[in-house]
Chains A and B, each alone.
Chain A
Amino acid sequence: MKLQKNTLIALYSALEFAAQPQSKLPAARIAFKYRVSAHHVAKVLRKLRRAGLLQAARGAGGGYRFAGNPKRVTLMDIVEVFEAIGARAPRAARGEAERALAAVLAEIDQIAIATFRSITLDTMLKLVAQARRGPRGRAA
């Protein structure tokens, strides 16, 4: 499965904010960590703020704080701000092969959506911690 670049930046950013919900983070710090342009990250963060997932932090330097509950916000909540999984343009008078293939592709999309919807940022942070520890550090 391939997500758009903005969606990936949004997911990485959301994880950074959710890991430190009390902290104010500037776009530049996220840009540096994930090797993307600060301008690009700033655009993504503005969109996350408009979606209610971040709030602008007051004070010198600007930046944002997380505005959601990491145990409630799912990966799908972030993804759907940037792209619509499975949103294919409806076409009238499709042939039977197109309709049959569309049904299979829709099945794949539904599984992807269910997966994104089942993983909260809090769960994702546990997976990040597990990846940091490596396979030997896996929780039982």
Chain B
Amino acid sequence: MRAADLAQVIEIDAAITGLAKPDYWAGVRRRYRDFLVAESAGRIEGYIVGEVRDWAFGAPPCGWVFGIGVRPQARLAGLGTRLLEALCASFRKRGVATVRTLLARDNHLVLAFFRSQGMMAAPFIPLEKELD
């Protein structure tokens, strides 16, 4: 992931979510070491971001996937699988044996992708409440 790639990552995310978040992505680039992109013919077709977190939520060190995105027209070609494999390889080098992610319940497409990669429900339950 090079600085020059960031604009295309922002573009991919905006196309998927409907919202461009340049400041957020600049922060992601500064903060996360595992920020990988898939490039084809000079164009960024997808990205993945993750990090090894020690004792997050009381769990032993494991790899977390915070975001993945592939251009709609580049899907069904295995790019997401290759990005996740590359990220998992980086996690393994750092000695972790588990990878986790967290998704919205109605994000059916990405949930189905992670399921297809062999991921199962983690031993956590996310909770929230509205603040007064």
Contact = CB atoms under 8 A, between A and B. Distances in A.
Interface in B100-132: 105-106, 108, 111-112, 114-116, 118, 121
B108 A118 contact: yes
Interface residues of B, number: 10
Contacts of A60: none
Contacts of B115: 118-120, 123
Contacts of B116: 71, 120, 122-123, 126
B108, B111, B115: residue with the most chain A Cβ atoms closer than 10 Å: B115
A101 interface: no
A71 B114 CA distance: 13
12 contacts: A71-B116, A111-B105, A114-B106, A114-B111, A117-B108, A117-B112, A119-B112, A120-B116, A123-B115, A123-B116, A126-B116, A130-B118
Interface of B: 105-106, 108, 111-112, 114-116, 118, 121
Interface of A: 71, 74, 110-111, 114-115, 117-120, 122-123, 126, 130, 139
